[in-house]
Every structure is written in C-alpha cells, then in structure tokens.
Amino acid sequence: EDKVVQSPLSLVVHEGDTVTLNCSYEVTNFRSLLWYKQEKKAPTFLFMLTSSGIEKKSGRLSSILDKKELFSILNITATQTGDSAVYLCAGGGGNYQLIWGAGTKLIIKP
C-alpha cells in the first residue's frame, strides 16, 4: 500500500533556528514529491520535486529529493514566526492521486 510518512510530527524551535523536515515515501510508479504549507487555511504550494539531487530553493526554504532512498527534506533557515504552520508532503504516482502525509506542525517561538 502506498504511504507517505513525515517526521517529526511536531517541532518547536526559536526564531532564527534552522529546521529540517523529513518525508519518506512508498508510492507506486513514483513521479513527484510535493511540499505544501498550511496555516489556518488552505494548503499553499511550496515545491514539486521530480528529480533526485536537484535542490529547489525559494528564499529561506529549500528542498531536495533522494529517489534512491525514497525521501525528501524541507529546510528552513533563519526561521521566523511566520513560518509557523503545518507542512504537508505528498507523493504522486502514475495517475492523478496524491498520497498525503500527516504533516509536521512547526511552531516558531519569538
């Protein structure tokens, strides 16, 4: 059965710290790994990764995919209180379905 597992489930850090969120996946006919940020509303798209070893970067956020070891990480440097959110990871296979992880709840303390 396809699954996506995120760790940790929750994380509390202080502003300015760097965090690494983990996502491991088992998805049949894997094609894509997506990261979303969810505050108190809709998930908003961050990254889509399809190739191993190529880092995607947006400001202080970056992500990379390892298709051999079946995982991805999301890094956030110099965290700010606005980074507090649930970060969702989803794996895409050969069709339209995304397999969603349970999310990592990140809390940034001032």
Partner 1 sequence: DAGVIQSPRHEVTEMGQEVTLRCKPISGHNSLFWYRQTMMRGLELLIYFNNNVPIDDSGMPEDRFSAKMPNASFSTLKIQPSEPRDSAVYFCASSLGIGVSTDTQYFGPGTRLTVL
**The one segment of 15-23, 41-49, 55-63, 65-73 that binds partner 1 by CB under 8 A:** 41-49
Least distance from C-beta 16 to partner 1, angstroms? Answer: 30
Residues 52-81 that bind partner 1 (CB under 8 A): none
- Note the residue count of the chain: 110
Give the residue, chosen from 19, 74, 76, 88, that forms a contact with partner 1 under the rule CB under 8 A.
88
Give long-range contacts, CB 8 A cutoff, 24+ apart: 77-84.
77/18, 78/16, 78/18, 79/13, 79/14, 79/15, 79/16, 79/17, 79/18, 79/19, 79/108, 80/15, 80/108, 81/15, 81/108, 81/109, 81/110, 82/108, 83/108, 84/39, 84/108
107 lies in the binding site for partner 1 (CB under 8 A):
no
95 lies in the binding site for partner 1 (CB under 8 A):
yes
Give the residue, chosen from 3, 45, 55, 77, that forms a contact with partner 1 under the rule CB under 8 A.
45
Binding site for partner 1 (CB under 8 A): 31-32, 34, 36, 41-45, 48, 50, 88, 91-98, 100-103
